[in-house]
Structure 1
Amino acid sequence: MSNEHLIEKTVSSKTIYEGKIIDLTLHTVQLPNGKEAQREVVLHPGAVTVLALTEKDTILLVKQFRKATERVLVETPAGKLERGENPLESAKRELEEETGYVASEWKHLASFYTSPGFADELMHAYVATGLTLKQQNLDEDEFIDVFEVTADQALQMIVDGEIYDAKTLTCVYWWLRERALQGKA
């Protein structure tokens, strides 16, 4: 089945803002019915997140303040891709920088758009196992606490509203599903 009847064609676009992390563009589009509309689009180089599984059947989570939400959020370790960077290499870098751990085994979990209504950010999620603690190496403007949780604790944190970051929910629910399939639930 063709999706041509849903496509919006770009008539023109202009960059409104160029930043360190994002750019903002304004697009004039022709709608499927022939009318024109405006679309604001945030351009982002993409990001990674890591579900780091320990040998104790726990996962590593981080807490950090997120200015956009004005809150300290509980998240899976994550970070922005450098322009042109391989997502797996970025995931390895971010895990070590944020948590101090390196992993011997990596598996791609999924890739998904974080907010496709206005942004092109594509998040790549990985599962990391075979963890070894090295040294946390935060950027000078990063302040992060690292901690471990069990499956029951992670689920309770979701129920209690302590975890509501989408990438973290995606990773935790995948982990809980995998555990259930293995009879660990």
Structure 2
Amino acid sequence: MADDTHLIETPLQSEPLLRGSFLHAQRDTVRLPTGDTATREYVVHPGAVMVVPILDDGRLVMERQYRWPLQQVLLEFPAGKMDPGEDALTCAARELAEETGYRAAEWARACVMHNAAAYSTEAIEVWFARGLSLGERDLDHGEHIDVLPMAAEELEALAARGELTDAKTLIGLLWLSRWRAGAWPLQWQPVAA
């Protein structure tokens, strides 16, 4: 592993810019490796999960929902933020059930991704789910989500045309492709009884 000490910035001062119910904005003053100072503004995020749900026929459970900051509907894998003290697998199972109605018999953790490291602390754990059974959804207040099964090939075609733009979904699709090719292993675990 490389010695990164010449890249490390040292915190000097921190001030909150915004305290929201979900996100916070922060401004820090740091000392650079050269000795100069700089400011860093970023969003503090509680963490999230994303689920790649695989149906028995190989299709994937996808969601379409309106994303206010972009003012458009996006196609995405199910995802959501972690509640305080909640572990990632519990969050993944909760979000999958709430948003899609599906429950999984088996789970596998793929990775952690940082989709906006330059300005956000958000870490998204990527999970795979299979052995799905459909039940009732329990959407949060204000959530409006269409659920649809899609083949990976359909998603890859959308990605190739630049029509699938959600970063976490693109990472999930990459993981799925590499796992199916035998290149990136997943360690499946059954749901505890």
- TM-score, normalized by length of structure 2? 0.91
Q: Does 1:26 align with 2:27?
A: yes
1:73 corresponds in structure 2 to 74
Counterpart amino acid of 2:38?
A: A
Instruction: Give distance in 2, aligned partners of 1:181 and 1:38.
Output: 44
Instruction: Give distance in 2, aligned partners of 1:157 and 1:114.
Output: 20
TM-aligned CA deviation for residue 36 of structure 1: 0.6
Counterpart amino acid of 1:92?
A: A
2:42 corresponds in structure 1 to 41
2:115 corresponds in structure 1 to 114
Structure 2 residue runs of 5 or longer lacking an equivalent are 184-193
Counterpart amino acid of 1:108?
A: R
- Residue by residue over 1:112-151, the C-alpha shift from the partner in whole angstroms, topping out at 9 and shown as x without a partner, is 1121001100000000000000011101210000001112
Structure 1 residue runs of 5 or longer lacking an equivalent are none
Counterpart amino acid of 1:155?
A: E
Query: Percentage identity across aligned positions?
Result: 37
Runs of 4+ in 1 over 6 A off after TM superposition: none
Question: What secondary structure is seen at the aligned counterpart in 2 of 1:181?
Answer: coil
TM-aligned CA deviation for residue 68 of structure 1: 1.3
TM alignment of 1:119-158, pairs within 5 A: 119-158=120-159
Question: What secondary structure is seen at the aligned counterpart in 1 of 2:69?
Answer: coil
The count of residues paired between Structure 1 and Structure 2 equals: 182
